[in-house]
């Protein structure tokens, strides 16, 4: 007989609850603060080249974040979002993927983007919304995307990428591709309806998705204990009949190993996996936010000691894969390189007026052509009021 | 040619699209083995397998999000929202995601090929949660296309064009006509272009404009008007977004009068958009104010449905008033 309720019925004859905290998921830790491996832990297999690429992606992002936040303070860009403290979570997970696995990110995953090969110039062009930006200057800073490197363009509404990742991965499966989709989101976004919709759809339709929750403690100012009541986010996987794993998000070896294992499982079974990275958003939510209004310096200092980059750096130094002096010099050089690229990108022209109507549809509809013609006539009449476009209209 | 009702024509269109292109996939609540609550996807699972025609959990935002993801990968999802009244949990996925996918990525990604099929409109004693016509909400969203068929022939051709479109389409199906409307439909593949209205009947005194199930209401009204010697030109708009401004302008330039009929409430309805454009384009040709015959500005009623709807008598009265103005 089939089981119409899709629920296991094991009978009891005395009423009693199952506790809402019955399930506690352990956190995988491999790398200690001093760069050594925990007793009993085994470092994942990682070749020198990959390990250095991971390290350089993290340090690149650290310097980029520092430099671009300063650029925002100077009024050179309108907005910025750092990922301070979470570099290992996104770089470590991206490193465990195939280059053609789709990445659907939230907005704080520049580490994964850099690991995939997004160039310094591409970062800058997006941040300055100039005409070389792949997104044609349409979205606020940090809304990156690139088809070539399988990185879906970021969308501001929270959580919308979660059911989309289920659909994307389902399409990968239908086409017989040996690829998965990774979907990043925060513990705050996990409160959106799209989280439930997406995880349930992926589980029911057997879509190979790695749902990667970056639990960083805060959704803007709202702490996690005002966001949800359960044990983190990972425990929810069980409700969807899905596997889960929780890792220390500042431990790049743990993140790498967990993601690699999840990827293999998802590909093999076409089942989604929920990963939860426990880390701390050391920076503000964005350049428009000031955490001093909602959390203490002491709390921040406590977490600052848990730096994902220094931990991995110590491990690399101990292995003899990294030279201390050369690395410091390289970071100094990177600072100069980033500043040079910034100066170039801020001088590149903004997109032309035709991009006001392009890509709304595959081809502009007649009404849009009419509106553009009307606008151009208006700009020609008042060229000084529209300096970005008036000098270069066809 | 074969005689089909609208459901059969829709089913036939989906069948042809799935046979022609292995990336076309149909899904939604009860869409799989059961073939949908109206049977529009009947037998498709049997024919194309559970991977390409399947039931989803009861989550409109999940259906829409899943469809966006599939389409961004390059497949052609045809997602059913069981009733247009239940499309609102998916509003964010449609308005903020579907509609802006190509634009926001600078054409790096797009969801062309995505079609949301959804039964809309009254006439089935459905009250306010099984009768709404929400096209105007979506018409306010650049990036979407919207089509509404009036009969089986139109339904098949417009649906096939929607699936073939490089842009995402919301396809509103007048559920009251699902079985009531029958006609000759070619068995082979054909498309009716989106964004093009059809002049169904030429006339000289007044232009009557509608879409979907309201076309047959307007046909009754213009017959009554003809008996009084009033010659009406009837236009089926067919696409709400983009809408065929030129065909309507040409007609109203000739007749000097326009009566627009739609099921949805008056205020904020798409008739307002049409009236604004036509008064601007045809100002010196107008002989009378543009009239709107619409639903009342109330939720859709149940017991008093007949009083509420933009029926043939109200349309007839508007035609006469326009001519006598």
pLDDT of res. A3: 82
Instruction: Provide the 10 A C-beta neighbour count for residue A394.
Output: 6
| Nearest alpha-carbon partner for B287 in B247, B245, B252 | B252
Half-sphere exposure (CA, 13 Å, Cβ side) for B113?
22
Tell me whether residues A160 and B89 touch, CB distance under 8 A: no
CB contact set of B87 (below 8 Å; sequence gap of 6+): B60, B81, B94, B116, B118, B134
Are A381 and A333 in a shared domain?
Answer: no
> What digits encode the pLDDT tens for the residues A290-330?
999 999 999 999 999 989 999 999 999 999 999 999 999 99
Q: Is A281 a catalytic residue?
A: yes
- Structure confidence at residue A147 (pLDDT): 98
Q: Are residue B12 and residue B112 in the same domain, yes or no?
A: yes
**Residue B7 sits in the same domain as residue B45:** yes
| pLDDT tens digit sequence for B124-144 | 999 999 999 999 999 999 999
Helix (H, G, I), strand (E, B) or coil at B275: helix
Task: Look up the domain containing A37 and give its range.
Answer: 27-345
Same domain, B156 and B40: yes
**Contact in structure between B300 and B308 (CB atoms under 8 Å):** yes
- Residue showing tokens 């005689």: B3
Q: Do B142 and A360 touch (CB under 8 A)?
A: yes
Residue A62 lies in a domain: yes
d(CA A379, CA B180): 53
Query: Does A14 reside within a domain?
Result: no
Q: Which of B29, B80, B97, B130 is catalytic?
A: B130
**Where does the pLDDT of residue A2 fall: very low under 50, low under 70, confident under 90, or very high at 90 and above?**
low
First to last CA, chain A: 72
* Catalytic site includes residue A386: no
Residues B141 and B170 in one domain: yes
Token pair in block for residue B25: 């996939």
Domain end among B117, B150, B185 = B185
- pLDDT digits over A88-125, tens only? 999 999 999 999 999 999 999 999 999 999 999 999 99
Out of B150, B185, B220, a domain closes at B185
User: Would residue B101 count as lying in a domain?
Assistant: yes
Structure confidence by residue, pLDDT tens digits, A351-382: 999 999 999 999 999 999 999 999 999 999 99
What is the distance between the alpha carbons of residues A367 and B142, in angstroms, rounded to a whole number? 11
Tell me the mean pLDDT in the region B197-217. Answer: 98
Q: Do both B230 and B268 map to the same domain?
A: yes
Could you say which of B123, B154, B185 is where a domain stops?
B185
d(Cα B206, Cα A210) in Å, to the nearest integer? 60
To the nearest 10 degrees (0 to 180), the angle between helices A48-73 and A120-127 is 30
Q: Is the pLDDT of residue A1 over 80?
A: no
Question: Which one, of A343, A315, A382, lies nearest residue A58 by Cα?
Answer: A315
- Over 90: is that where the pLDDT of B120 sits? yes
What are the pLDDT digits (tens) for B27-45? 999 999 999 999 999 999 9
The answer to whether residues B99 and B244 belong to one domain is no
Q: Are residues A286 and A376 in the same domain?
A: no
Q: Give the minimum alpha-carbon distance from B6 to chain A in angstroms, rounded to a whole number.
A: 29
Instruction: List the beta strands (DSSP E) in chain A.
Output: 27-28, 102-104, 181-186, 209-215, 218-219, 222-223, 243-248, 273-278
| CATH number of residue B266's parent domain | 3.40.50.920
- In whole angstroms, what separates CA B83 from the centre of its chain? 13
- The domain that contains A73 carries what CATH number? 3.40.50.970
Q: Is the domain of A102 the same as that of A247?
A: yes
Find chain B residues with C-beta within 8 A of A166's C-beta.
62, 65-66, 69
Q: Are residues B203 and B259 in the same domain?
A: yes
**pLDDT tens readout for residues A181-196:** 999 999 999 999 999 9
Question: Rounded mean pLDDT of chain A?
Answer: 96
Instruction: Provide the number of structural domains found in chain B.
Output: 2
Asked if residues B51 and B58 have their Cβ atoms less than 8 Å apart, the reply is no
Domain contains B84: yes
- A215, A253: one domain: yes
pLDDT at residue A8 in the model: 84
CATH of the domain at B66: 3.40.50.970
Q: How many Cα atoms occupy the beta-carbon half-sphere of A343 within 13 Å?
A: 6
Q: Which two tokens stand for residue B93?
A: 């996925």
Q: How large a percentage of chain A has pLDDT more than 70?
A: 99
Distances (CA, A) of B288 to A23, A66, A78, B204: 72, 66, 51, 14
Domain count, chain A: 2
Closest to A228 measured CA to CA, from A183, A188, A186: A188
pLDDT of residue A341: 98
Query: Are A232 and A187 within one domain?
Result: yes
| pLDDT over 90 (residue A9) | no
- Do A339 and A358 belong together in one domain? no
Asked whether the predicted pLDDT for residue A176 surpasses 90, the reply is yes
In a domain? residue B239: yes
From A119's Cα to the closest Cα of chain B, the distance in A is: 16
Q: Cα–chain-centroid distance for residue A85?
A: 13
Q: To the nearest whole angstrom, how far is the Cα of B243 from the nearest Cα of chain A?
A: 9
Res. B107: pLDDT tops 70? yes
Contacts of B104 in chain A (CB under 8 A): 135, 138-139, 143, 153, 155
Query: Is B107–A152 a contact, with Cβ atoms under 8 angstroms apart?
Result: no
B52 and B181 share one domain: yes
Enter the pTM of the model. Answer: 0.97
What is the distance between the terminal CA atoms of chain B, rounded to a whole angstrom?
45
Around Cβ A256, how many Cβ atoms within 10 Å? 27
- Let me know if residue A210 belongs to a domain: yes
Instruction: Detail the DSSP E strand segments found in B42-90.
Output: 53-55, 76-80
Domain range for residue B302?
A: 198-324
Q: Are residues B179 and B204 in the same domain?
A: no
Structure confidence at residue A4 as a pLDDT band (50, 70, 90): confident
Strand partners, B172: B118
Burial class (CB in 10 A: 0-12, 13-18, 19+), A176: exposed
Eight-class DSSP state of A392? T
B-chain residue closest to A165, CA distance? B69
B24 and B54 in a single domain? The answer is yes
Report chain A residues whose CB lies below 8 A from the CB of B57.
197, 200-201, 204
Q: Which residue, among A197, A208, A371, would best test binding to B if mutated, counting the most B CBs under 10 Å from its CB? A: A197
Task: Please check whether residues B26 and B121 belong to one and the same domain.
Answer: yes
What residue in B sits closest to A104 (Cα-Cα)?
B69
The two structure tokens encoding residue A171: 């399409």
How does DSSP classify residue A20?
T
Residue A164 lies in a domain: yes
- Cβ neighbors of A267 (< 8 A, separation 6 or more) are A178, A179, A180, A208
Mean pLDDT of B151-165: 98
Is B192 a member of any domain? Answer: no
Helix (H) or strand (E) holding B307: helix B305-308
Q: What is the DSSP letter of B117?
A: E
Question: How many other C-beta atoms can be found within 10 angstroms of the C-beta atom of residue A140?
Answer: 17
Distance CA B9, CA B158 (A): 11
A339, part of any domain = yes
């Amino acid at each position: 007989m089939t089981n119409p309720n899709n629920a296991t019925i094991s009978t009891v004859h005395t009423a009693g609850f199952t506790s809402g905290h019955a399930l506690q998921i352990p956190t995988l830790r491999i790398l200690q603060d001093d760069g050594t491996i925990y007793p009993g832990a085994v470092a994942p297999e990682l070749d020198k080249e990959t390990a250095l690429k991971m390290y350089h992606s993290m340090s690149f992002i650290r310097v980029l974040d520092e430099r671009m936040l300063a650029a925002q303070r100077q009024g050179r860009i309108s907005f910025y979002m750092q990922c301070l403290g979470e570099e290992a979570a996104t770089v470590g997970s991206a490193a465990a993927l195939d280059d053609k696995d789709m990445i659907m990110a939230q907005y704080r995953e520049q580490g994964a983007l850099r690991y995939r090969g997004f160039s310094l110039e591409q970062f800058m062009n997006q941040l300055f919304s100039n005409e070389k930006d792949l997104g044609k200057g349409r979205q606020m800073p940090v809304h990156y995307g690139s088809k070539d490197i399988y990185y879906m363009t970021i969308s501001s509404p929270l959580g919308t990428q979660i059911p989309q990742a289920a659909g994307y991965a389902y399409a990968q499966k239908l086409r017989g591709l040996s690829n998965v989709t990774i979907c990043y989101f925060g513990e705050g976004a996990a409160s959106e309806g799209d989280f439930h919709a997406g995880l349930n759809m992926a589980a029911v339709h057997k879509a190979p998705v790695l749902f990667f929750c970056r639990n960083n403690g805060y959704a803007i100012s709202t702490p996690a204990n005002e966001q949800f009541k359960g044990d983190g986010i990972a425990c929810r996987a069980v409700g969807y009949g899905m596997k889960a794993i929780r890792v220390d998000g500042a431990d790049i070896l743990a993140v790498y190993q967990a993601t690699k294992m999840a990827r293999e499982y998802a590909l093999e079974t076409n089942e989604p996996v929920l990963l939860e990275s426990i880390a701390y958003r050391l920076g503000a939510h964005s350049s428009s936010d000031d955490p001093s209004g909602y959390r203490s310096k002491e709390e921040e200092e406590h977490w600052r000691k848990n730096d994902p980059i220094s931990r991995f750096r110590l491990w690399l130094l101990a292995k003899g894969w990294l030279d201390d002096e050369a690395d410091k010099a390289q970071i100094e050089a990177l600072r100069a390189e980033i500043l040079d690229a910034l100066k170039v990108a801020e001088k590149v022209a903004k997109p032309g007026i035709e991009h006001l109507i392009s890509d709304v549809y595959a081809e502009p509809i007649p009404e849009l052509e009419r509106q553009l013609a009307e606008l151009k006539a208006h700009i020609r009449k008042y060229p000084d009021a529209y300096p970005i476009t008036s000098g270069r209209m066809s | 040619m074969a005689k089909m009702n609208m459901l059969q024509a829709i089913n036939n269109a989906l069948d042809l699209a799935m046979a022609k292109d292995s990336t076309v996939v149909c899904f939604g609540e009860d869409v799989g083995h059961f073939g949908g609550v109206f049977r529009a996807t009947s037998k498709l699972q049997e024919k194309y397998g559970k991977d390409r025609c399947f039931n989803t959990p009861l989550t409109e935002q999940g259906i829409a999000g899943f469809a966006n993801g599939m389409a961004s990968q390059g497949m052609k999802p045809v997602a059913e929202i069981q009733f247009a009244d239940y499309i609102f949990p998916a509003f964010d996925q449609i308005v903020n995601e579907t509609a802006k996918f190509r634009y926001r990525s600078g054409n790096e990604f797009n969801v062309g090929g995505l079609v949301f099929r959804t039964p809309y409109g009254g006439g089935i004693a459905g009250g306010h949660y099984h009768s709404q016509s929400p096209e105007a909400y979506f018409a306010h969203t650049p990036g979407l296309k919207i089509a509404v068929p009036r009969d089986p022939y139109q339904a098949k051709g417009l649906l096939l064009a929607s699936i073939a479109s490089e842009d995402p389409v919301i396809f509103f199906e007048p559920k009251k006509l699902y079985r009531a409307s029958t006609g000759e439909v070619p068995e082979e593949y054909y498309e009716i272009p989106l964004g093009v209205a059809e002049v169904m009947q030429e006339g000289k005194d007044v232009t009557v404009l509608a879409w979907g199930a309201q076309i047959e209401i307007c046909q009754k009204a213009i017959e009554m008007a003809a008996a009084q010697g009033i010659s009406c030109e009837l236009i089926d708009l067919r696409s709400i977004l983009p809408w065929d401004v030129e065909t309507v302008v040409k007609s109203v330039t000739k007749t000097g009068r326009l009566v627009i009929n739609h099921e949805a409430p008056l205020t904020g309805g798409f008739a307002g958009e049409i009236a604004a454009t036509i008064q601007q384009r045809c100002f010196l040709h107008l002989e009378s104010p543009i009239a709107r015959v619409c639903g009342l500005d109330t939720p859709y009623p149940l017991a008093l449905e007949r009083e509420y709807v933009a029926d043939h008598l109200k349309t007839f009265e508007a035609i006469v008033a326009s001519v006598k103005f």
